Amino acid sequence: MIAARIVIAGALVATGWAATANSAPHAAGPSPQELVAARQAGMVMSASSLNLLKGASANGAPLKNLTFPASGLAKWAAAMPALFADNTRGVASRATAKVWTQKADFAAKAKAFADSTKALADAAKAEDKPAFDAALASTAASCKGCHDTYQTPPAPPPKAG
Ligand code: HEC
Across the chain, what does the average pLDDT equal?
89
Q: Which of 33, 34, 43, 106 to mutate to test the pocket of ligand 1 (most atoms within 8 A of CB)?
A: 43
CA-to-CA distance for 124 and 67, rounded, in angstroms? 5
Quick one: which of 77, 88, 81 has its CA closest to 30? Answer: 88
Quote the pLDDT of residue 66. 98
pLDDT in tens, 86-135: 999 999 999 999 999 999 999 999 999 999 999 999 999 999 999 999 99
- Tell me how far apart the alpha carbons of residues 55 and 10 are, in angstroms, rounded to a whole number: 58
46-63 confidence digits (pLDDT tens): 999 999 999 999 999 999
Ligand 1: does its nearest atom lie under 6 Å from the Cβ of 95?
yes
Percent of the chain at pLDDT > 70 equals 83
CA angle 41, 45, 51 (to 5 degrees): 150
What is the C-alpha to C-alpha distance for residues 129 and 114, in angstroms, rounded to an integer? 19
What's the confidence (pLDDT) of residue 4?
53
C-alpha 147 to ligand 1 mean position (Å): 6
CB atoms within 10 A of CB 47: 11
CA of 53 from ligand 1 middle (Å) equals 17
